[in-house]
Amino acid sequence: MIDITKPFVIYATCTVEYEGRACSTLDEGNYIILYKKDKSLLIHSGDKSTPINYQPSGTLLHLDGQQILARRKSEMIKITMRQIIHYACLENWSINELKIRKTERELVNKIVNNMSDYIDREGVVTCEYPTELGKIDIMLEEKGGVKHIIEVKRCKATINHCVQLEKYYNAIGEPQSRLYIAAPSIANSALNYAKSKNIKYIEVLFD
Amino acid sequence: MIDITKPFVIYATCTVEYEGRACSTLDEGNYIILYKKDKSLLIHSGDKSTPINYQPSGTLLHLDGQQILARRKSEMIKITMRQIIHYACLENWSINELKIRKTERELVNKIVNNMSDYIDREGVVTCEYPTELGKIDIMLEEKGGVKHIIEVKRCKATINHCVQLEKYYNAIGEPQSRLYIAAPSIANSALNYAKSKNIKYIEVLFD
DNA sequence: GTGTCAATGTCGATA
DNA sequence: TATCGACGTTGACAC
């Protein structure tokens, strides 16, 4: 009945045992079992977005009566099914890429590739500029030594984002540094706060 | 036909759009859609163990013809189905905890809580003792200054584990430090190597 | 292949 | 409810 050579979904009353990087057991219950084209195996409980147990790509299945043995390198999952409530073979399961847009990265790239549109100074541009307090999204260093610190947000900029920027300012420890918050929009309160702290707001929009 | 008030699995030819923390689109194809008891929504492609798109716990569904709208706070997923290949309502989907045993953490705790059984010295015990080369599993510091460095492994100890221990020794830079490898068992070659390097093997078993 | 690092990380614990 | 740290992290990219 079950064809373990093809991707499938099973809804079954079962127990699950795992042995490998750790050991684990799962009490009997009704769980969803997914077997994918890339030979990854997922066992999903009735909550959480992560599987309650899984085996990565490259897992080989052996079916022995009501028992599924899933092996991969030195790892093993044993599923003992008391009752199969539901089984479906998944023909032509698609493998596609998710196209992600409107990320912070996209805005960072836009600024870096058109720096002169946003800051009228020349210098060395560094992304992910490291400091004790984490990475600065964009750093523009003039030859003269003046540093321009740009914090990029993909959504509306808030006061908290400005505070974060000031922390970087202190971490850098160079009073002549200049601060910028770049985002598609900025909250009114944040804009007032920014002005009072000499932080310049840069409007940067998604294409 | 579809009851969106109950957990379900659907296999459908569909497209998926997401808007929220970022934006994303997914080309038409056959995907598995899971809706769980905790109102989390998962869309699984034919590979990878992570869902190609998802919405965390607390997502509310609206069904409009062949279109599922999933909303949660400021996030939204829209699934447009051209054909439902498969639908099953998942009654009594279990929510259980995975019981994880035999972790390295378990052995570390056992040693720390019964230190005198393993090392006949008094001193300050620190887990995850930081060094340049990473964290030492367990550090026992005597008042006199002598340091006991313990590396814990949940499986059979190997020569590589001993080498790792020597790196810590060098990182600490205190020649009078003493080295221990703790594991349920040790390879013969590793035991010989350990002896030659003045590393003591501690047998620690899972309860 | 191995090592390093980001992630729409996810998830649990804690304040 | 917000923040912090761990994860059998996973997954992508550099080497």
Rounded Cα distance, A50 and A44, in Å: 8
* Residues of chain A numbered 153-182 and touching chain B (CB < 8 Å): 154
B26–A154: do the CB atoms touch at under 8 Å? no
Rounded Cα distance, A144 and A133, in Å: 25
Q: What is the mean pLDDT of chain B?
A: 90
Rounded Cα distance, A207 and A114, in Å: 13
Residue with tokens 């699984």: B44
Q: Does residue B134 register a pLDDT over 80?
A: no
Q: Does residue A79 register a pLDDT over 80?
A: yes
Query: Residue B106 belongs to what H/E stretch?
Result: helix B104-113
A73 in contact with chain B, both atoms CB, cutoff 8 A: no
Contacts of residue A38 in chain B, CB cutoff 8 Å?
A: 46-48
* Weakest mean pLDDT among B64-73, B164-173, B198-207: B164-173
Contacts of residue A100 in chain B, CB cutoff 8 Å?
A: 22-24
Q: Indicate the residue of A46, A51, A95 with minimum beta-carbon distance to B47.
A: A95
Selected residue with higher pLDDT from A79 and A204: A79
B205 in contact with chain A, both atoms CB, cutoff 8 A: no
Rounded Cα distance, B190 and B207, in Å: 24
What tokens were used for A142?
């003039």
Residue A101 CA, nucleotide C1 C1', distance (Å): 32
Nucleotide nearest to A51 in CA–C1' terms: C10
Let me know how many helices (H) and strands (E) chain B has, helices first: 4, 13
SS3 category, B105: helix
Rounded Cα distance, A47 and B74, in Å: 21
Q: Does residue B133 register a pLDDT over 70?
A: no
- Tell me the per-residue pLDDT of B38-57, one tens digit each, with 9 for 90 and over: 999 999 999 999 999 999 99
**pLDDT the model gives residue B159:** 86
**pLDDT the model gives residue B106:** 80
**pLDDT the model gives residue B78:** 95
Query: Residue B113 belongs to what H/E stretch?
Result: helix B104-113
Share of chain A above pLDDT 70, in %: 99
Q: Which of B149, B145, B128 is nearest to B137 (CA)?
A: B128
* Weakest mean pLDDT among A35-39, A194-198, B126-130, B136-140: B126-130
For testing contact with chain A, the best of B14, B49, B59, B91 (most A CBs within 10 A): B49
SS3 category, B176: coil
Residue B93 CA, nucleotide D10 C1', distance (Å): 25
Q: Does residue A86 register a pLDDT over 80?
A: yes
- Tell me the per-residue pLDDT of B22-37, one tens digit each, with 9 for 90 and over: 888 999 999 999 999 9
Rounded Cα distance, A36 and B113, in Å: 44
For testing contact with chain B, the best of A16, A23, A52, A107 (most B CBs within 10 A): A23
- Tell me the per-residue pLDDT of A173-192, one tens digit each, with 9 for 90 and over: 889 999 998 888 888 888 88
Q: Does residue A32 register a pLDDT over 90?
A: yes
Distance from CA of B115 to the nearest CA of A (A): 23
A187 in contact with chain B, both atoms CB, cutoff 8 A: no
Contacts of residue A53 in chain B, CB cutoff 8 Å?
A: 98
Nucleotide nearest to A18 in CA–C1' terms: D8
A107 in contact with chain B, both atoms CB, cutoff 8 A: no
* Strand partners for A43: A33, A53
Q: Between chain A and chain B, how many beta carbons pairs sit less than 8 Å apart?
A: 150
B94–A46: do the CB atoms touch at under 8 Å? yes
A124 in contact with chain B, both atoms CB, cutoff 8 A: no
Q: What is the mean pLDDT of chain A?
A: 89
CA dihedral B12, B18, B21, B23 (to 10 degrees): 130
Q: Which of A131, A142, A146, A186 is nearest to A162 (CA)?
A: A186
SS3 category, A192: helix
Rounded Cα distance, A91 and A89, in Å: 6
Rounded Cα distance, B154 and A68, in Å: 26
Question: Would you call A50 exposed, middle or buried from its count of C-beta atoms within 10 A (0-12, 13-18, 19+)?
Answer: middle
**pLDDT the model gives residue A7:** 96
**pLDDT the model gives residue A82:** 97
Mean pLDDT of B172-196: 90
Contacts of residue A48 in chain B, CB cutoff 8 Å?
A: 36, 38, 40, 57
Alpha carbon separation from A106 to A67, B18, B77 (Å, rounded): 48, 17, 21
With both helix axes pointing from N to C terminus, report the angle between A188-196 and A159-172 in degrees, rounded to the nearest 10: 30
Residue B57 CA, nucleotide C12 C1', distance (Å): 15
SS3 category, A158: coil
- Tell me the per-residue pLDDT of B75-121, one tens digit each, with 9 for 90 and over: 899 999 999 999 999 999 999 988 888 777 788 888 888 899 999 99
Rounded Cα distance, B6 and B37, in Å: 7
Residue with tokens 């509310």: B60
What tokens were used for A62?
């052996």
Question: Would you call B188 exposed, middle or buried from its count of C-beta atoms within 10 A (0-12, 13-18, 19+)?
Answer: exposed
- Tell me the per-residue pLDDT of A137-184, one tens digit each, with 9 for 90 and over: 888 999 999 999 888 887 788 887 888 788 788 878 889 999 998 888
